[in-house]
Every structure is written in structure tokens, then in C-alpha cells.
């Protein structure tokens, strides 16, 4: 096997090991995928400032996100269907994150449930909430996250209606996959994945089935999810969710300074500058290109995080330099998971950590807390 040296190596391996419909589900954006591509490309346009003859010993990447200690400013982003990249994917990724000392965020649309993840972890994880029309289900989810001692609620704001991904439509994506000849072929060509999947009973949306009133089986689940995202979600809803939750709250999916100002007024603990990894509004600007404007608008009022397009430790460092207190990675950890399970997630984190550490040193900094716009070529005087 070829050596795995960066996230693109993990991606190549995941492509070989994960059935096409689930690999494509991760590796896709809305419509033309223009925003998906821009998220990555815009990082490459930011250049670093090389410094020499600075003491580079005793470096530290340790910092905090919403006051919680993290070994580096990286969290695992909430991603739906993670347990379809690899059997029990959410449980494995949560364990890898815990061992690494960084937050894991469980999606509402996960395969493993809140209770599944809680049963294999010892430290609190974060829970991402989609607000569904069935409010009783939402209240119940919040209560389940509290009971599982989740230490932050990540409320996603940018999915009131669903963006369209062509690959998913062409592949006929569903969880579990349908048993048509095409789908059977996609799975039969990935025997390792199949063996592991046969060894678990976690193969559907376990936060939902048995919890939402009208969802009893697979066909009712499809109908329910299709009409449950709430197009009327408003800033008023943020208020009652904040109150019901009563703990640290992070608002995810802010891409515009005006929305950032509104978000800061809610009293939330942080916002995530995000366009959902380019999976919602195709044609929107990249997250990293919007970060400086959002920092200028609200950086002194609320903690700002970023996700979208991070593929290396250098990208994390660039986001931190532009003012993000923390970052989230989606696809990099999914590729690790699909490639090698829990070890692959750890390897993705190792790769990112090493790249960030070396880059920080070569920019003449020893502590992530000292990384600011002065490490970027365009901002240096
Ligand atoms: C396969 C996949 C599924 C996702 N599912 C969710 C989700 O359930 N909830 C959510 O808030 N964001 C979801 N996202 C968006 C991620 O949380 C995050 O914003 C995005 O992945 C960041 O971009 P990156 O993948 O380039 O790191 C998903 C992203 C991917 C790639």
C-alpha cells in the first residue's frame, strides 16, 4: 500500500473502500459544486510569512473553544450518515476525538444515536441540532443530549430547505442502501465494508427511528425526513432553543456579517462561519474568504469558529491567523474513517496536527495563542 502522508491520500483510500454512493455523499457539493471547490481553493491563495532564527522549542497548539480545553483548535464537524462511511462510524470517530482531546460533534442525522455514542465515550461530546417541524421531537432531542451530558449544542441554521446534490440523486442514496442490482454491485465491490456492516445492527437513523412520533419503519422515515426541515425557522426559535438547552450554544452556518451581528445578539457562545461545506447554496462565497469580514463585524462580541475546505494543518493555521478561535473538519475525518476506521480518524488528526505544528514554527511562532494576521504575507507590514 502507498504511504499515507496527507488528507488526499486518505481520500484516495476511502474511495477504494467505501461503496460509491456513500463516498460520493461525502465528496459532493450542491449543483455545480462551485462553492465546494472554492472552500478549498481559497485557502491556497493565502500565503504565509517565513521567519528565521526564532526560538522554536516548546511549541504548543493547546487552546480553548467556548472555554473548553482542546489539544488543538480543531473539532470534528457534525456529518450525517457517518455510520455509512464505516460501520459504527460515529462511535469510532467520537472515541478518536476523545483520545485526541478535541470535540466530536454528533449530527441529528447520524446513524449511531446520542445514547450509542455516550455508551462508548467517557468525556462529553457536542450535539448538533436540526430543528424539525415536529417540535416535540426537537424538545426530546435536546433533553436526550442533556441526559447524555453533551457539553455544547451546535444549532445548524443553514438547512431550512435542502440543497440539491446531483451525485446523490444519480446514485439513489439512502440509508441503509436499497437492494437494487446497482446498489448491490456498489456494495459487493467493497467486501471489507460489507463485512463490518454485517457485524453491527446500526444501519439507520437511530436518533430518529423510535423517537419521532410517526417514524416506525424505513418508509415512514423517508417520508418524515423529506418534510421535516422547517422553512419557517427564525431568530425567535434560537431564543427558545437556547432557553430549553440552558448550556453552551454554537450557531452554525453564518456566512454574512449582517447575520453574524444578529447571531451575536442572541447571547450564543460562538458562531461557525460555514456554508455547510458547499452543500447548500452553490454560488455562495467560500467560508475562509468571509472570515475576515465577519471577524471585523463581531469578533469583539462573540467567539468565531470556521469550517469548510480545511484539508491541512496549514489551513487551520490560516483560519486561526484570520481570527478563528477554532475550526471544524468534515470531509478530512470522514475520509480517514472510510479508509481505516478509528485509526484513520486518528491518522487524519495526526496529519493535521503535524502540518500545523511545523508551519507555526516556520512562521516563527511557538504558541497557537500568538498566531495572528502577522503570520500572513498579505497582512504583514
Ligand atoms: C457528508 C456530510 C454530511 C454533513 N451532514 C451535516 C449534518 O448532518 N449537520 C450539519 O450541521 N452539517 C453537516 N455537514 C456539514 C459539516 O458539518 C461541515 O459544515 C462541512 O463538512 C465543513 O466542510 P469540509 O467538509 O470541507 O470540512 C455535512 C457535511 C458532509 C461532508
Report the length, in residues, of the chain: 381
Q: Cα separation of 300 and 317, whole Å?
A: 20
Q: Cα separation of 63 and 47, whole Å?
A: 24
Backbone CA torsion sign across 328, 315, 350, 1: positive
Tell me the per-residue pLDDT of 238-249, one tens digit each, with 9 for 90 and over.
Answer: 999 999 999 999
Q: Report the DSSP beta bridge partners of residue 229.
A: 132
Kindly give the distance from the C-alpha atom of residue 381 to the centroid of ligand 1, in angstroms, as a whole number: 36
Q: Cα separation of 11 and 17, whole Å?
A: 10
Tell me how crowded residue 52 is: count the other CB atoms within 10 A of its CB.
7
Helix axis angle, 257-265 to 287-298, nearest 10°: 50
Q: Cα separation of 180 and 182, whole Å?
A: 5
What residue owns the CA closest to ligand 1's atom 28?
Answer: 79
What residue owns the CA closest to ligand 1's atom 29?
Answer: 79
User: Is residue 298 a contact partner of residue 268, using CB atoms and an 8 Å limit?
Assistant: no
Listed in sequence order, the residues at least 6 apart from 219 whose beta carbon sits closer than 8 Å to its beta carbon are: none
User: Is residue 380 a contact partner of residue 49, using CB atoms and an 8 Å limit?
Assistant: yes
Backbone CA torsion sign across 116, 120, 122, 126: negative
Kindly give the distance from the C-alpha atom of residue 330 to the centroid of ligand 1, in angstroms, as a whole number: 5
Atom of ligand 1 nearest to the CA of 36: 26
Looking at residue 179, its pLDDT comes to 87
Q: Cα separation of 344 and 335, whole Å?
A: 8
Residue 276 annotated as catalytic: yes
Residue with the three cell numbers 521567519? 51
User: Residue 84 has which C-alpha cell?
Assistant: 455509512
pTM of the model: 0.97
Residue of 166, 183, 222, 276 with catalytic role: 276
Q: Which of 358, 352, 355 is nearest to 329 (CA)?
A: 352
What residue owns the CA closest to ligand 1's atom 4?
Answer: 79
Tell me how crowded residue 27 is: count the other CB atoms within 10 A of its CB.
18
Q: Cα separation of 123 and 100, whole Å?
A: 11
DSSP category for residue 126: E
Pick out the chain residues at pLDDT < 70.
1, 217-219, 380-381
Best residue for ligand 1 mutational test, from 30, 78, 163 (most atoms within 8 Å of Cβ):
78
Radius of gyration (C-alpha) of the chain in whole angstroms: 20
Kindly give the distance from the C-alpha atom of residue 107 to the centroid of ligand 1, in angstroms, as a whole number: 9
Looking at residue 198, its pLDDT comes to 96
Kindly give the distance from the C-alpha atom of residue 197 to the centroid of ligand 1, in angstroms, as a whole number: 22
Residue with the three cell numbers 455510520? 83
Looking at residue 379, its pLDDT comes to 78
User: Residue 343 has which C-alpha cell?
Assistant: 485509526
CA atoms within 13 A on the CB side of 262: 16
Atom of ligand 1 nearest to the CA of 154: 11
Q: Which of 65, 93, 95 is nearest to 80 (CA)?
A: 93
Kindly give the distance from the C-alpha atom of residue 79 to the centroid of ligand 1, in angstroms, as a whole number: 5
337 alpha-carbon distance from chain centroid: 13
Tell me the per-residue pLDDT of 70-81, one tens digit each, with 9 for 90 and over.
Answer: 999 999 999 999
Best residue for ligand 1 mutational test, from 43, 167, 276 (most atoms within 8 Å of Cβ):
276
Q: Report, in this order, helix, strand and coil percent for the chain, each rounded to 5.
A: 45, 10, 40
For ligand 1, which residues put their CB under 6 angstroms from it?
25-26, 39, 77-80, 107, 109, 128, 156, 252, 274, 276-277, 279, 307-310, 329-331
DSSP notation for 320-344: HHTT-SEEEESHHHHHHHHHHHHHH
Looking at residue 1, its pLDDT comes to 59
Q: Cα separation of 366 and 83, whole Å?
A: 38
Amino acid at each position: 500500500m502507498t504511504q499515507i502522508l496527507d488528507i488526499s491520500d486518505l481520500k484516495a483510500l476511502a474511495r477504494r473502500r467505501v461503496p460509491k454512493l456513500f463516498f460520493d455523499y461525502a465528496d459532493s457539493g450542491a449543483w455545480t459544486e462551485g462553492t465546494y471547490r472554492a472552500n478549498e481553493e481559497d485557502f491556497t491563495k493565502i500565503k504565509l510569512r517565513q521567519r528565521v532564527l526564532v526560538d522554536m522549542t516548546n511549541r504548543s497548539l493547546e487552546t480553548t473553544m467556548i472555554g473548553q480545553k482542546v489539544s488543538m483548535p480543531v473539532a470534528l464537524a457534525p456529518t450525517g450518515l457517518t455510520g455509512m462511511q464505516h460501520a459504527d462510524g460515529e462511535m469510532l470517530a467520537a472515541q478518536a476525538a476523545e483520545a485526541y482531546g478535541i470535540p466530536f460533534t454528533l449530527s441529528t442525522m447520524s446513524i449511531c444515536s446520542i445514547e450509542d455514542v455516550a455508551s462508548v465515550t467517557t468525556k462529553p461530546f457536542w450535539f448538533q441540532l436540526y430543528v424539525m417541524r415536529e417540535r416535540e421531537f426537537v424538545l426530546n432531542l435536546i433533553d436526550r443530549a442533556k441526559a447524555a451530558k453533551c457539553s455544547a449544542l451546535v444549532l445548524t441554521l443553514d438547512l431550512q430547505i435542502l440543497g440539491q446534490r446531483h451525485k446523490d440523486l444519480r446514485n439513489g442514496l439512502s440509508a441503509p442502501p436499497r437492494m437494487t442490482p446497482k446498489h448491490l454491485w456498489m456494495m459487493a465491490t467493497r467486501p471489507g465494508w460489507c463485512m463490518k456492516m454485517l457485524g453491527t445492527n446500526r444501519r439507520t437513523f437511530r436518533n430518529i427511528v423510535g423517537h419521532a412520533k410517526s417514524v416506525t419503519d424505513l418508509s415512514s422515515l423517508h417520508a418524515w425526513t423529506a418534510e421535516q426541515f422547517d422553512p419557517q425557522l427564525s431568530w425567535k426559535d434560537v431564543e427558545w432553543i437556547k432557553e430549553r438547552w440552558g448550556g453552551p450554544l454554537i450557531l452554525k452556518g453564518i456566512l454574512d456579517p449582517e447575520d453574524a451581528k444578529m447571531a451575536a445578539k442572541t447571547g450564543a457562545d460562538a458562531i461557525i462561519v460555514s456554508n455547510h461545506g458547499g452543500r447548500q447554496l452553490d454560488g455562495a462565497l467560500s467560508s475562509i474568504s468571509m472570515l475576515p469580514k465577519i471577524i471585523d463585524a463581531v469578533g469583539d462580541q462573540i467567539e468565531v469558529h470556521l469550517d469548510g475546505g480545511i484539508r491541512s494543518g496549514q489551513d487551520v493555521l490560516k483560519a486561526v491567523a484570520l481570527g478563528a478561535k477554532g475550526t471544524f473538519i468534515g470531509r478530512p475525518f470522514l475520509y480517514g474513517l472510510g479508509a481505516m476506521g478509528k485509526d484513520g480518524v486518528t491518522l487524519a488528526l495526526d496529519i493535521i496536527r503535524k502540518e500545523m505544528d511545523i508551519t507555526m514554527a516556520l512562521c516563527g511562532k511557538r504558541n497557537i495563542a500568538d498566531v495572528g494576521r502577522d503570520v500572513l504575507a498579505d497582512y504583514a507590514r
